[in-house]
Chain A
Amino acid sequence: MTLRRLALILVVMAASAAVGWMLSVGVSRWTRPASSGRTATVAPAQPAQPGRRIKARLFYVAEDGARLTAVEREVPYAESAIEQAKEIVNAQMAPVVEPLVSAVPPGTTLRALFVTGDGQAYVDLSSELSRAHPGGSLNELLTIYTLVDVLTANLPAVNAVQILIDGKAVDTLAGHVDLRRPLMKNLDLVE
């Protein structure tokens, strides 16, 4: 190996390392929550660890039909905030039996979820969320704040939730609540 060839290999290795460093730092900056004493940390996305579980507050329609009620449930633990958020949303949308009633229309599925660096979660749901919604402004408020509160109340890294349907921003779910902006936690609707 000539000296020139060795130098070339060293340059290529250095360049590769630099690109790798930039990618890892860039991605972590994108996904890292605001550094204001938040407890959650974000690691590269990893699936939930089998067996390990955490407790989360899920929200269902209260008996009077006018509010939400919080129910503590165990959900699979995940190492990253994004994967944990997905686990929580999937647990929230899982079918329930009486006496629980979900404000999220049956058949709704999670298509994608990501969290920005400043703590805004973008939750992309299937169109059943809108198509199967029974209507009424109260129901709409309960549906939306079920999804907003289940993330903001359980994940300190999430401070606002933007709901998307089929990958697109929508004006409203059923003609009432403005979904063009991210919504923050609102426990006024929780009994």
Chain B
Amino acid sequence: MPTTLIGSQEFVAVDDLAAAFQLTVRDESGAITVSYKGRTVVLTSDQALASVAGRLVSLPAPPTRVGNRWLVPVEFIARALAPIYDVRLDLRRPSHLLIIGELRAPHATVRLEPLANAARLTIDATPRASSGVTQDGNRLLVKFDADVIDPTFPVFQSQGLVAAIRLVDPVTIGIELGPRFSAYRASSEAIEDTTRLVIDLVGAETSPPTLTTGASGSVAPVAPPAVDAAPIGSPPPSIRSIAVDAGHGGADTGVKGPGGTLEKDVTLSAARHVKAAIEARLGIRVLLTRDEDRDIPIDERVAIANNSKADLFISLHLNASLRGEPAGASIYVATFRGTGEATPRLSPERVATFGGGSRDIEMVEWDRAQLRFLDPSTRMASILRDEFQGRIPLDDHQPSDAAPFRVLESANMPAVLVEMGYLSNAEQEQRLAGGEFQNALASAILDAVVKFRGYLDQSAEATR
């Protein structure tokens, strides 16, 4: 319902109320009579009072005439209209919420207390409402047993454990986790008419760092991190999470090697190696699009990366050839050239914002999101080739660096596809599935991530 601000007082039009609540309004020489099922409220134009079914109630301001419309303070709804109405009306001024009827709409006040390498979130729900906490990728979801919640969020600087807190849907609060998040514990208790939910967030023991790489490519352990997050005002880290996609899975076995090795098994094992190396050494969260032997549609793989706002997407695969004995890894980025449509189809859309004004919303087509990231993706591919040198054999005959690979096209972040080697090559089959190769691969990818992060930091610095 539209409101009008006059001075510091918020008003609502009487005819809007009449339409919304089936009221009858009569305007007779300065007196306004509002009726509902035989019950009346009488207002006079110069008095901050209303006669509600014969009883006087005060209003913060008298009714005001603007043009041919009468405006009344929004408090009129709670103080004058609610007593004559036959359904409960509950006006929540701070949140601009008018609850009609017996809706369960608890007020949820969220507080955040940063602690040393930990943080405590307290959510007080009044009146009482139970809730459940689940982890969904790099966020926690707090879902309330209510029809709608009326939240109040704290103002805080994004930090290592909590990046943001926002309403996900009418009954769910989402807590976006920062790069240092490791684990959480939740408990709740009833205090008078309030349900208090306490979520303790614990930080990881390691953190980003200064990584030293020897000439051989081995990675030295890093010192434990300083306890706290980046100081206020410093830029957010350029890579907070990475999505690693183990190609194929389930009924989709991918390539089958001459000895029976399946691509889906090798990619999953390699993805786990990469995750373990990056999380242990860099403290960057690594999401696996699958951590078991199951078939996942390509769109769902990218959706996992996009929805978790990963900063980098790496899809792992194994190659095959019909003849000859090609060997070595190939690294690809997406291309939209030669697909008939190479330019973005959507232009920014201007939308109204709450409180007036407007802003442009960037429209990104799902199947072409990668268009905006082709440059950093190409840089990451180049860094990976450099890091593979001497550690992971490269395919000297790779015919092209870019291909219209579907899993890359929808990625809304820099994205590369790594063909780790040829499973059709009998000599390579055992090696590709072995721990030595996969450790070397994970180490090379980890070093590439460090260099890519440096590239992103430099790019961000240059644009500031």
Interfacial residues, chain A to chain B (CB-CB below 8 A)? 61, 63-67, 101, 103, 120, 134-139, 141-142, 160, 171-172, 175-178, 180-186, 188-189
Contacts and interface: CB of A to CB of B under 8 A. Distances in A.
Contacts of B400: 141, 188-189
Contacts of B321: 65-66, 136, 138-139
B404 A178 contact: yes
Interface stretch (B140-148, B199-207, B248-256): B248-256
Interface of B: 247-248, 252-256, 263, 298, 317-326, 330, 332, 338-341, 367, 395, 397-400, 403-407, 409, 417, 419, 422-424
A16 B37 CA distance: 71
A61 B298 CA distance: 27
Contacts, number: 115
A148 to B, nearest CB: 9
A175 B323 contact: no
Nearest to A179: B406
Nearest to A143: B322
Nearest to A68: B399
A177 B341 contact: no
Given A135-B255, A138-B321, 16 more contacts: A63-B323, A65-B325, A65-B326, A101-B323, A134-B322, A136-B319, A138-B320, A138-B330, A138-B399, A139-B321, A141-B400, A142-B322, A171-B406, A176-B406, A176-B407, A177-B405
Contacts of A120: 340
18 contacts: A67-B397, A134-B320, A135-B253, A135-B320, A136-B318, A136-B319, A138-B319, A138-B326, A141-B403, A171-B298, A175-B252, A176-B405, A178-B367, A178-B409, A180-B406, A182-B339, A183-B338, A183-B404
B324 A175 contact: no
B255 A66 contact: no
Contacts of B397: 64, 66-67
B322 A137 contact: no
A175 B248 contact: yes
Contacts of A160: 340
Contacts of B253: 135
A67 B399 contact: yes
